[in-house]
Copies of this chain bind each other. A is one copy, B any other.
Amino acid sequence: MVSNKQVILRNYISAGFPKETDLYVTTGDIELKLPEGSNGILVKNLYLSCDPSMRPRMKKLEGSYVNSFTPGLPISGYGVSEVLDSGNPEFKKGDLVWGRTGWEEYSLITAPHLFKIQNIDMPLSYYIGILGMPGMTAYVGLQSYVVGSAGSKDKVDLLKNKLGFDEAFNYKEEPDLNVALKRCFPEGIDIYFENVGGEMLDAVLLNMRIHGRISICGMISQYNLEKPEGIHNLIQLIVKRIRMEGFLVLDYYHLYPKFLEMIIPRIKEGKIVYVEDIAEGLENAPTALVGLFKGHNVGKQVLAVTRK
């Protein structure tokens, strides 16, 4: 038996920003050996990912493509882990994996849907970021010329000077998003990668070009609201003959080997720059996760449970 620190959801959070007190850290214990006859795997968690998509799981959800967290139990999400014991022929002790795991030091995963990490010359934490679900999501959505929007001057500078965006603006400082978009896109927007929702989507709809396309995979501005904001400019879909389509990266993981083949050389050559914001230790897990919704992180928010 060893001790097992865990991050627990206290209660469902229906609306509003999650607070640090909505989560608590406790210490249980765990046998570092699979139960007799188990075909699951036992892992030691190395890195955990703070993702906006965890927010809906803090509500009581019905009929969604993800399950709610359970109050009183550890929350879960994407992580990088090391296999300690395996009853599954696909994994063996010592394997490094990424995928769904618990927010705790050690997890017993009964039905593992995990990717084995083959390219270990990359930082392991990249597998919950640029080489994992978020990177794959961006890859599925588009590959193109980009104007970015971020919530601080530092982030805007980062977009323009380090990450290679052609243009960027600070949405918190713009008195009128419509004006900001007109400035950045004097001839209109061909493609919008929707991760924000609300006011931004309404302003974008006004600035789309004829036959423009909107690829949607998230709406972070809506996750803390009890009732989503209304979108008022959908008539633009007709006027501009716009195609708007939602997607989930879940449907595209068969392309994952192709994605890695494309992206790893580009990271190595410095053509794609990746920025992480790493918090250390499960004690800091609540702060890291709730900070995400206030924009405290600069770059991909990662939690290092223990360093490999």
Contacts and interface: CB of A to CB of B under 8 A. Distances in A.
A233 interface: yes
Contacts of A229: 230, 232
Interface in A217-275: 217-219, 222, 227-248, 251
B228 A233 contact: yes
Nearest to A227: B232
Interface in A189-243: 197, 201, 216-219, 222, 227-243
A151 to B, nearest CB: 21
A65 interface: yes
A234 B237 contact: no
A219 B238 contact: yes
Interface string A157-177: 000000000000000000000
B235 A244 contact: no
A248 to B, nearest CB: 6
A127 to B, nearest CB: 23
Contact of A242 (B197, B236, B246): B246
A193 to B, nearest CB: 12
Chain A contact-residue range equals 20 to 34
Copies per complex of this chain: 2
A144 interface: no
A197 B238 CA distance: 12
B228 A235 contact: yes
Contacts of A237: 216, 244-246
Contacts of A239: 64-65, 246, 248
B241 A247 contact: yes
Contacts of A248: 238-239, 241
B238 A228 contact: no
A63 to B, nearest CB: 8
B241 A245 contact: yes
Most chain B beta-carbon contacts within 10 A, residue among A201, A217, A246, A251: A246
Given A227-B232, A228-B233, A235-B219, A243 B241 contact: no
B251 A247 contact: no
A172 to B, nearest CB: 22
Name the residue among A201, A235, A238, A248 with the largest chain B CB count within 10 angstroms: A238
Contacts of A64: 239
Contacts of A234: 197, 201, 216, 219, 228, 231
